[in-house]
Amino acid sequence: MDFSIFKNKKVLITGHTGFKGSWLGIWLNHCGAKVIGYALDPQHDKDNYVLAGLTNKIKDYRGDIRNTALLSKVFNEEQPEIVFHLAAQPLVIDSYENPSDTFEINVQGTVNVLEQFRLSSSAHSLIVITTDKVYENKNSGQAYKEDDRLGGADPYSASKAAAEMVTSAYQQSFFSNKQNNKHVYTVRAGNVVGGGDWSANRIVPDCIRAVENNEAIIIRNPKSVRPWQFVLEPLCGYLRLAELIERGKAPDDTAFNFGPSLENCVPVLDIVEKIIKHYGKGSYEIKNNNTALKESALLHLDASRAVNELGWKPVLSLDETIEITTSWYKYYREGNVYDRCLKQIDWYLSKWK
Ligand SMILES: NC(=O)c1ccc[n+]([C@@H]2O[C@H](COP(=O)([O-])OP(=O)(O)OC[C@H]3O[C@@H](n4cnc5c(N)ncnc54)[C@H](O)[C@@H]3O)[C@@H](O)[C@H]2O)c1
């Protein structure tokens, strides 16, 4: 992968203070891009964004994605060329507690970004980050392809499926005429793991919190199979897509799945056992899931479109995925988190050689 094309490019990341957004900001900053961020404040003082000191390395705007006046000001003042839209309420359980906010942030927030992108004279690429949960889940074990039916049985999944439809409507209504040279894509990945994510109800942060507190890890859905992937894998796919657009080799505006190989689709219990192994300590207890909240039991993405059209593929084994993830949490207290992230990026890129 050669991302030197991003040097001096103005790239706006919404959701840059979050887990995936912070890694994307570090990566693009490393490529020499002029990174602009727009998001709410970080949630935790141990977030990757905070510990990596990214706020001092990029142009950092704090605002709500529903604040159209501020978002418009940022587009007008910064004149971004490439936009990655990650800002979202990203948690299924929170979406049951705050469905209305989830729909507003994830659907209207996406409309707001699309609208600014439409009106912008500088921006020519928009990549909207959704999720593997946008598919109508038949629990059949099938691998979902981009043209499969969208759905979503919980507010989060439905809000992201709606964000897909909104994006598709903008694509067809405003950007299908290539003369305006605007490219819009949606990208779908799921169960992303990596350093600096402290979100509640995600398995890796839950494990790390328990291990750091010398408590047993509580597992509620040990048999739920998920497509685990290291954060840099889907980010590499998003960057590859943006790179091809910059090189004038953009594929047709569409959706792309960036899922891991089948080998990385394993039950939660296997992940917990690997985290304990790589961290070097920890124990777990299995407790029956007594929640009535629905979450899809089995999800797997077919990434062959990304493989064939973008030359992207998942390159890490499951063991590498969990080892590199766990190592961030093992060593973040020792400082130099930004450099540590860069080393992980270089190590990841070496897998492509
Ligand atoms: N982490 C995963 O496993 C995963 C899987 C599939 C899809 N995604 C998607 O990737 C994106 C990033 O997820 P993440 O895991 O980094 O989440 P995160 O919670 O770590 O980060 C979310 C980001 O969005 C911002 N944000 C939230 N509400 C906002 C609002 N109202 N206005 C402005 N900014 C707001 C936050 O400030 C933060 O910067 C999301 O769109 C999410 O749906 C994540």
Ligand 1 test: best mutation among 40, 50, 58, 144, most atoms within 8 Å of CB?
A: 40
For 12, the 3-state DSSP assignment is strand
pLDDT given at position 289: 64
Q: How far is the CA of 179 from the centre of ligand 1 (A)?
A: 32
The pLDDT tens digits for 173-215 are: 999 876 678 999 999 998 899 999 999 889 999 999 999 999 9
In order of their start, the domains of the chain are 7-350 (3.40.50.720)
Asked if residue 86 has its Cβ within 6 Å of ligand 1, the reply is yes
Asked if residue 129 has its Cβ within 6 Å of ligand 1, the reply is yes
Q: How far is the CA of 177 from the centre of ligand 1 (A)?
A: 31
Atom of ligand 1 nearest to the CA of 85: 41
pLDDT band at 65 (very low <50, low <70, confident <90, very high): very high
pLDDT given at position 180: 75
How many angstroms separate the first and last alpha carbons of the chain? 8
Asked if residue 184 has its Cβ within 6 Å of ligand 1, the reply is no
pLDDT band at 140 (very low <50, low <70, confident <90, very high): confident
Neighbour count for residue 11 (Cβ, 10 Å): 26
The pLDDT tens digits for 66-88 are: 999 999 999 999 999 999 999 99
Q: How far apart are CA 160 and CA 158, in angstroms?
A: 5
pLDDT band at 152 (very low <50, low <70, confident <90, very high): very high
Minimum CA distance residue for ligand 1 atom 19: 18
pLDDT band at 290 (very low <50, low <70, confident <90, very high): low
Atom of ligand 1 nearest to the CA of 105: 31
* Enclosing H/E stretch for 25: helix 19-30
pLDDT, mean over the chain: 94
pLDDT given at position 159: 98
The pLDDT tens digits for 208-267 are: 999 999 999 999 889 888 889 999 999 999 999 999 999 999 888 899 999 999 899 899
Q: How far is the CA of 290 from the centre of ligand 1 (A)?
A: 27
Give percent of the chain with pLDDT exceeding 70.
97
- Burial (Cβ within 10 Å: 0-12, 13-18, ≥19) of residue 53: exposed
Q: How far apart are CA 87 and CA 113, in angstroms?
A: 10
Asked if residue 192 has its Cβ within 6 Å of ligand 1, the reply is yes
Atom of ligand 1 nearest to the CA of 37: 39
> Helices then strands (H, E): number in the chain?
13, 13
pLDDT given at position 288: 73
Give percent of the chain with pLDDT exceeding 90.
86
What does the DSSP assignment read for 115-169? HHHHH-SS--EEEEE--GGGB----S-PPB-TTSPB--SSHHHHHHHHHHHHHHH
Phi, psi of 80 (to 5 degrees): -65, 150
Is residue 291 scored above 60 in pLDDT?
no
Neighbour count for residue 142 (Cβ, 10 Å): 13
Mean pLDDT throughout 127-152? 91
Q: Which tokens sit at 332?
A: 């973040």
Give the predicted TM-score (pTM) of the model: 0.96
**In 3D, which of 107, 95, 93, 89 has the Cα closest to residue 15?**
89
Q: How far apart are CA 331 and CA 338, in angstroms?
A: 12
Q: How far apart are CA 257 and CA 159, in angstroms?
A: 18
